[in-house]
Structure 1
Amino acid sequence: MKKIFIILLILGQFIHAQNKKVKDTSRTELDNIFVTANRTKTVRQETPVAISKISAKTIDETKATALYEMVNKTPGVLMVNLGNEQHMMAIRQPMTTNAYYLYLEDGLPIRPLGIFNHNALLEINQFNLQAIEVVKGPASSLYGPEAVGGTINLISQKPSFYPEFKFGIQADQWGYKRIQASGGATIGKLGFHIAGISSIQENSWMTHSDYQKDNLNIRLDYAINDNTRLISNTMIGNYFSDMSGGVNEQDFYNRDYKSTSDFTYRKSEALRSRLTLEHDWNTNANSSLTVYHRDNKLGQNPSYGIRWSATNNPTSATGEVNSNNFKSYGAVGQHTQKFDFWNTTMVSGATFDFSPVTYWSYLIKLSATLNPGDSGKQTVNKYEIVSEHPETKLANYSADIYNTAIFKQISFSPVSEVTFTLGGRYDNMKLNYDNALDNSTGNKTYDKFTFKAGVNYNPFKEAGFYGNYSQGFSPPNITTIFRARPGTGGTTGKPAEFYYNLEPATFENFEIGGWVSVYKNKLSFDYAAYYMEGKNELLNIKLEDNTTDFRSAGETSHKGIEFGLNYTPNRQWHIRLGGTVAEHRYIDFKVSDITTDALQNLGGYEMPSAPRWTGNSELSYYPNWFPNFRAAVECQYVSSFYQNQINTVSYEGYTIFNGRLGYKYKNVEFYGNVLNFTDKLYAYNVGRGNVTSAQSSYLAAAPRTFLIGLQYNLCLKK
């Protein structure tokens, strides 16, 4: 990465030399314009979904070390920090790693269908973001499967009209350091933007938690003529992280932040490239064609893969090493047509994606050193590798995934105050596989038509209302399909059994909402109320030895209210309030076929890791008496939630405060962030199995953290 930053520094000098060649054109924030919900630029008043936008100003002032610091500012969103930019998500779902979220980069999925990874956003370059749009609720009718709980679209920086260059460094007291640089300009018909970032974590508050991340993004825009543009995007990223995992209850409350292993890790090598041709046929018609390629290698010795039982030979355990590698070749075509009749807009398109994937996992044997007993409980102090067994495969398959889809959406306004939106999409996922564990070959097909219908009613300039019905669809992740069931395969002596019969999850979502903006837009309020019902939702049961058995729930329900308020009484003050109240329950979830088991169906129970209340609010101050200074205090609240599926143990939740300061002097900005200002002891999530002997695993959050940074911003105008 040092070479990257040398290149970027040279770029800064080049930009300075081009100063007199470029016109002065200002960029405008269009916070009321969205592109994600309708795949085209649309005003909020014509968007019948719950959608939020994190602006360039918010991104710049947050100075986040990880995406969750920005995304959690959105009402209805809880991005769960798992450390070192690893994460899980909760949008109209409990905190989960399941494939019910779609992550987009400039409208294109980061992962192909069938190869979901809840950590996909760790590949994102935070210094390359212009905005973040979050659509809450199913968006499968436009973007396809996995767009169920929510869709997050990370919008990259575009080439500036005038030369600009940024360079920054930041660090905290726990061994985290980051260096970043970006630059861009438009010279004649060619515009370019380059952004690089390099992060490193060493000797942190948690043992065995080092990581390193390097990312480079390059964008080129070429104006073929006034109506035709060619856009190229390339991302190269490398990531390596220790995986510290959770800590037991005693260590957590003693603030003894020690990992039970010193060998677990996650590493990623990612390349994404795309080329887009856009053409404006006239003021009412636009077409685009994007071809793209992905190349991703993900290797792990995961902490979550350690299997240990307090009752079955507690001084030994097992783990695994795995590798998941895929490439993608695809295309997306889209045409947008506007008609004067009823102010109609029609978006039509088709996608094709071919993604060959290979996956293998093998057994490792571990020894477990126990802690002294505490009230009869046994916990592990440390795991150590005894032997590795590449010959004992836990999974071993290759597959070709073919994803094809067509979609269409139409919006029209028969009267000026009312806009109707109808959309539909047909997806077909074909999987040709070769499973080496049972020497089987075959194919599976998952297909579904998803539909949505919405209406916007804007009786006043200051207020609007909407309602929608939308469907969601998500086939099982193929890694789940070819994972041997617990108690089979490996060293069990029993033939491996697999999850070939898992059905796709389907969802129906009903939603109403609205917005109000008064006092010359100084006060705005938006809200949404939803009820979403899922069938065949893929869930898991954590067994006594920490293995996971996958089941499809017969039926689940998800309902809640999301709200956000922004108030700017004057230029000095800004108040943002955001919150969610939600309930997630099993309606029908059969967990046992054994008649003697006390609990056979979890119907009526709350889902674990599902807080009833979450919220994020912020007070910002920009004093007139001290120009170019800013200060903000942020509050993050998460209420109590159940740790296990049988609702016997809960975690109390947390309330924390963050502070941010910044001052700009000419081209230099100095800033400081304080995260967890009160040094609160809390965990991002706590999980526990259903059996009586199960013990809680705490994903501990960082103690009070001081981050300081410096950023140089050079913007040249004629």
Structure 2
Amino acid sequence: MTAKPLFPRSLLALCFTSIYGAAFVPAIAYGQDTSTAPQTNRAELTESTPRGIQRFGSDAENIERIETTSSRLIGKANANGYVVSSINEDTLSFLSFQHIQESLNYVAGAGVQRGNGQEYLPALRSPVLTGAGACGGILAAEDGVPLRAAGFCNINELFEAHGEMAERIDVVKGPASVLYGSNAIHGVINVITPDTTRGGGLAAFDYGSFGYHRLKFRQGKDFGNSGIGINASITRDTGYRDNEGVDQEKVNIRHRFESDAFSVTTGMTYTNLEQDTAGFIVGEDSYKDEDIAQSNPNPEAFRDATSLRLWSKLDMTFDGGHALTFTPYIRDQEMDFRMHFLPGKPLEQNAQDGFGVLSQFNYVVNSAFNIDMGLDAESTDGELMQAQDSETVGSAFLVETVPVGKHYDYTVDARLIAPFFALNWQQNTWLLSLGGRYEDMQYRYTNNMNVGRVREDGTACGFGGCRYSRPESGENSFSNFSPKFSASYKLTDKTQLYLGASRGYRAPQATELYRLQRAQQVADLDSVKATNYEVGVKGLTEGGRYTVSLYSLRKDNVIYRSSDFFNVSNGETWHRGIELELSQAFGNSWRIDFAGSYAKHTYEHSQLSGEVDIKGNDIDTAPALQFNTRVSYAFSDALQGQLEWQYVDDYFTDAENQNSYEGHDLLHARISYALSDTITLFARVNNVLDTQYAERADFTSFTGPRFFPGRPRNVMFSASVAL
């Protein structure tokens, strides 16, 4: 891939003209938490990690923060019973990840697998999710606003969030549908961008192996009752494998206005990705062969994507303690990518634009009882075209059934409306919450081609018909109700027990309904539903904190592609496990951070994969044991080091449980040195032992074993300057 200039003219113009000419002042160093610290709920324990290594001896019980993921209201922490795992800004700065998957390793139960470039497959209390609508299992958001509309998710959508320069990343595990609606079945990943309107600044540069380099810039101006700021990054990565590479630009712009009666915060995120993609390598243990691992069998593959989101959040408080938040937003996204993994390697072009609103009102009845209520609504127009520009290579069957020309060309107009409520009661050591959400989703589908499994020109394919089938234009609607109950009991000042029961759901995605194959003419699908039960304990220790969770989640109406290549929704799966997250300081120099899970994910329905009954089998790509351990040591106030051990258990790579990947252990090392009060230097070595491993292992009947190979030992050097 030809490297692009580090400073694209269009992005520079956007960055600097968007400041409106505001003057800047010296600011707080990167990595310091600049948020205010409201009082937390009386029955809640603080969930903040001891932050910098230099603070090992600090009193973790006194560190509090605003919660924006479990409630939209400022200063309202965990009122609706969601347990949130957070990766804070100091941790993200020390890591300086090249791919967001690296940071999500720090969350127990998250098993995200990196693909090539910025691609990935998600997993959160689940197997790695694959398939047309698999992205609907985990909701991805930035600053509380979902990155994609409910019926138009993308499996790689987190590359549209500015995680590289986030203030923190919050992860809600388990169904969060009462607050977030469809798609939050296994949880929510919410990237929180920094409030640059309070002032402060940063300039940083990363330089690493395989042509990786990144520029980061942050600056803001606080005018008192208003402020404005920018947060931007530019990434260039020519890659380890042949003919791969990433050019990526991201920018956040934020404005704040406050008065005695209300505050309005407005944010904009723009992202641009141009990626040359390296595909799977095939063959048993092929990732262990250096030449094969570095090769790229799909040099023609690429992905180009842009996204723009604009939101404005109104916060108001009233006499009596009542509070209101109201957030209208708009989205505009486009993406082209070569589907190198399909016969004929067609080009997909998709786009969506729309607008919506998120709201929440908290009514305080008395000191013990309050009510949350809200109405969310969204309107989205989506379009998709898949077309092939050259003859298919392969067997006579493939050549005949996968023709040149358009395969799909359709538009979908979607409308969503969702009222929700939560009743919250708190007294002494108890906190109870009971809530529910009703959501109605309407799709209006327009097929812009001929109907059925014929070529674009209307002629029939041999061997019974073409591979791709187009349904007639029509409408589909899905209505769901999601209840949630949670309870917590403060056993001591430092220990809290909690339990919860909830129901999550996701409506079928547009691609599952309208991108059909073979003889299927209509996809008669139901919403996927998930019932979750969870118990746990969380607490504070001298210099640390911990959370232990046990959960059991059963999913019904799971959508999958049958052996007849039909999209059907009669699958059942069961997901259960135990998780531990721990952060513990020892004196003023040592700290251990641990995030691990042991889980079982099984098929609970006698659906057939070929001729094999897979009921009771382990779901493929679902390691039972995964954990991440970091040991940090402060040599001095200025010099800090860390070793990280990442473990992934072996797992089956097919539904029949006949093929498997052996798993891997990785060791990473990091060190930072504060050269002055404003300048910090970093050095990082990833995969210290140069382990041969696969980021992702898979098996298909067409290719056999296939892999995305992991990168060999690589380094990154960084410099960060507080402005």
Following TM superposition, by how much is the alpha carbon of 1:38 offset from its aligned partner in structure 2, in angstroms? 3.4
> What is aligned with 1:677?
688
> What is aligned with 1:141?
178
> What is aligned with 1:327?
353
Does the CA contact (< 8 Å) of 2:24 and 2:221 recur in 1? no
**Any idea what SS the aligned residue of 1:121 has?**
helix
> What is aligned with 2:708?
699
Instruction: Give the counterpart letter for 1:362 in structure 2.
Output: A
Residues 1:590 and 2:607 are matched in the alignment = yes
Measure, in 1, the Cα distance between the counterparts of 2:15 and 2:448: 47
For residues 584-628 of structure 1, the C-alpha deviation after alignment (integer angstroms, 9 at most, x for no partner) is 111104226xxxx742x32111100000001111011122xx322
Instruction: Give the counterpart letter for 1:399 in structure 2.
Output: V
Does the CA contact (< 8 Å) of 1:290 and 1:333 recur in 2? yes
Q: Which TM-score applies when normalising by structure 2?
A: 0.86
Give runs of ≥4 in structure 1 deviating > 6 Å: 6-14, 42-45
**Any idea what SS the aligned residue of 1:113 has?**
coil
**Any idea what SS the aligned residue of 1:688 has?**
strand
Following TM superposition, by how much is the alpha carbon of 1:411 offset from its aligned partner in structure 2, in angstroms? 1.3
For residues 404-436 of structure 1, the C-alpha deviation after alignment (integer angstroms, 9 at most, x for no partner) is 1011112112x4111101110001100011123
* Structure 1 residues 498 and 92: CA distance shift in structure 2, 3 A: farther
Does the CA contact (< 8 Å) of 1:148 and 1:472 recur in 2? yes
> What is aligned with 1:37?
70
Of 515, 520, 525 in structure 2, the residue corresponding to residue 483 of structure 1 is 515
Instruction: Give the counterpart letter for 2:201 in structure 1.
Output: F
Q: Which TM-score applies when normalising by structure 1?
A: 0.86
> What is aligned with 2:424?
411
**Any idea what SS the aligned residue of 2:94 has?**
helix
Measure, in 2, the Cα distance between the counterparts of 1:27 and 1:228: 18
Alignment of 1:223-242 (within 5 A): 223=258, 225-242=259-276
* Structure 1 residues 359 and 367: CA distance shift in structure 2, 3 A: closer
> What is aligned with 1:346?
371
Q: How many residues align?
A: 655
Where do 5+ consecutive residues of structure 2 fail to align? 1-6, 38-45, 49-63, 452-471
Measure, in 2, the Cα distance between the counterparts of 1:614 and 1:103: 22
* Structure 1 residues 536 and 669: CA distance shift in structure 2, 3 A: same
> What is aligned with 2:573?
556
> What is aligned with 1:538?
559
For residues 566-601 of structure 1, the C-alpha deviation after alignment (integer angstroms, 9 at most, x for no partner) is 111222111111100001111104226xxxx742x3
Residues 1:210 and 2:236 are matched in the alignment = no
Where do 5+ consecutive residues of structure 1 fail to align? 308-317, 371-385, 489-496
Measure, in 1, the Cα distance between the counterparts of 2:536 and 2:82: 8
Moved more, 277-286 or 573-582: 277-286
> What is aligned with 2:485?
453
Following TM superposition, by how much is the alpha carbon of 1:46 offset from its aligned partner in structure 2, in angstroms? 5.6
> What is aligned with 2:206?
170
Measure, in 2, the Cα distance between the counterparts of 1:542 and 1:87: 26
Of 593, 605, 617 in structure 2, the residue corresponding to residue 576 of structure 1 is 593
Does the CA contact (< 8 Å) of 1:50 and 1:513 recur in 2? no
For residues 670-690 of structure 1, the C-alpha deviation after alignment (integer angstroms, 9 at most, x for no partner) is 11111111111111221112x
Measure, in 2, the Cα distance between the counterparts of 1:13 and 1:698: 50
> What is aligned with 1:502?
525
For residues 526-555 of structure 1, the C-alpha deviation after alignment (integer angstroms, 9 at most, x for no partner) is 111011111111234689xxxx75443431
Does the CA contact (< 8 Å) of 1:564 and 1:579 recur in 2? yes
> What is aligned with 1:567?
584
Alignment of 1:151-190 (within 5 A): 151-161=188-198, 163-190=199-226
> What is aligned with 1:380?
none
> What is aligned with 1:89?
122
**Any idea what SS the aligned residue of 1:535 has?**
strand
> What is aligned with 1:621?
633
> What is aligned with 1:373?
none
Measure, in 1, the Cα distance between the counterparts of 2:410 and 2:20: 48
Instruction: Give the counterpart letter for 2:128 in structure 1.
Output: M
Measure, in 1, the Cα distance between the counterparts of 2:508 and 2:581: 34
**Any idea what SS the aligned residue of 2:91 has?**
helix
For residues 166-202 of structure 1, the C-alpha deviation after alignment (integer angstroms, 9 at most, x for no partner) is 1111121201111111111211322112011111122
Measure, in 1, the Cα distance between the counterparts of 2:430 and 2:261: 32
Does the CA contact (< 8 Å) of 1:361 and 1:395 recur in 2? yes
Following TM superposition, by how much is the alpha carbon of 1:85 offset from its aligned partner in structure 2, in angstroms? 2.0
Measure, in 1, the Cα distance between the counterparts of 2:326 and 2:74: 17
Moved more, 601-610 or 31-40: 31-40
Q: Percent identity?
A: 21
Instruction: Give the counterpart letter for 2:298 in structure 1.
Output: S
Following TM superposition, by how much is the alpha carbon of 1:43 offset from its aligned partner in structure 2, in angstroms? 7.3
**Any idea what SS the aligned residue of 2:378 has?**
strand
**Any idea what SS the aligned residue of 2:112 has?**
strand
For residues 508-541 of structure 1, the C-alpha deviation after alignment (integer angstroms, 9 at most, x for no partner) is 001101112223xx13221110111111112346
Instruction: Give the counterpart letter for 1:237 in structure 2.
Output: T
**Any idea what SS the aligned residue of 1:703 has?**
coil
Moved more, 243-252 or 163-172: 243-252
**Any idea what SS the aligned residue of 1:116 has?**
coil
> What is aligned with 1:392?
405
Does the CA contact (< 8 Å) of 1:284 and 1:338 recur in 2? yes
Measure, in 1, the Cα distance between the counterparts of 2:81 and 2:318: 28
**Any idea what SS the aligned residue of 1:503 has?**
coil
For residues 351-385 of structure 1, the C-alpha deviation after alignment (integer angstroms, 9 at most, x for no partner) is 11110111110124467699xxxxxxxxxxxxxxx
Following TM superposition, by how much is the alpha carbon of 1:55 offset from its aligned partner in structure 2, in angstroms? 1.3
Following TM superposition, by how much is the alpha carbon of 1:265 offset from its aligned partner in structure 2, in angstroms? 0.9
Following TM superposition, by how much is the alpha carbon of 1:14 offset from its aligned partner in structure 2, in angstroms? 6.2
Instruction: Give the counterpart letter for 2:348 in structure 1.
Output: N
- Supply the RMSD in Å over aligned alpha carbons: 2.7
> What is aligned with 1:359?
384
> What is aligned with 1:52?
85
Moved more, 357-366 or 650-659: 357-366
Measure, in 2, the Cα distance between the counterparts of 1:195 and 1:45: 28
* Structure 1 residues 302 and 120: CA distance shift in structure 2, 3 A: same
Following TM superposition, by how much is the alpha carbon of 1:35 offset from its aligned partner in structure 2, in angstroms? 2.9
Does the CA contact (< 8 Å) of 1:194 and 1:216 recur in 2? yes
Measure, in 1, the Cα distance between the counterparts of 2:686 and 2:584: 24
Following TM superposition, by how much is the alpha carbon of 1:41 offset from its aligned partner in structure 2, in angstroms? 5.2
Measure, in 1, the Cα distance between the counterparts of 2:24 and 2:220: 11
* Structure 1 residues 411 and 609: CA distance shift in structure 2, 3 A: same
* Structure 1 residues 296 and 542: CA distance shift in structure 2, 3 A: farther
Of 688, 696, 699 in structure 2, the residue corresponding to residue 688 of structure 1 is 699
> What is aligned with 1:639?
649
* Structure 1 residues 435 and 456: CA distance shift in structure 2, 3 A: same
Instruction: Give the counterpart letter for 1:227 in structure 2.
Output: A
> What is aligned with 1:219?
254
Instruction: Give the counterpart letter for 1:525 in structure 2.
Output: Y
For residues 12-64 of structure 1, the C-alpha deviation after alignment (integer angstroms, 9 at most, x for no partner) is 99655689xxxx99655772543322333577786634421111221222212
Moved more, 175-184 or 10-19: 10-19
**Any idea what SS the aligned residue of 1:60 has?**
helix
Following TM superposition, by how much is the alpha carbon of 1:503 offset from its aligned partner in structure 2, in angstroms? 1.7
Alignment of 1:426-465 (within 5 A): 426-439=438-451, 440-465=472-497
Measure, in 1, the Cα distance between the counterparts of 2:328 and 2:25: 34
**Any idea what SS the aligned residue of 1:634 has?**
strand
Measure, in 1, the Cα distance between the counterparts of 2:629 and 2:672: 19
Following TM superposition, by how much is the alpha carbon of 1:288 offset from its aligned partner in structure 2, in angstroms? 2.0
**Any idea what SS the aligned residue of 1:446 has?**
strand
Bigger strand share: 1
* Structure 1 residues 53 and 17: CA distance shift in structure 2, 3 A: closer
Moved more, 121-130 or 501-510: 121-130
Measure, in 1, the Cα distance between the counterparts of 2:499 and 2:277: 43
Does the CA contact (< 8 Å) of 1:68 and 1:80 recur in 2? yes
> What is aligned with 1:494?
none
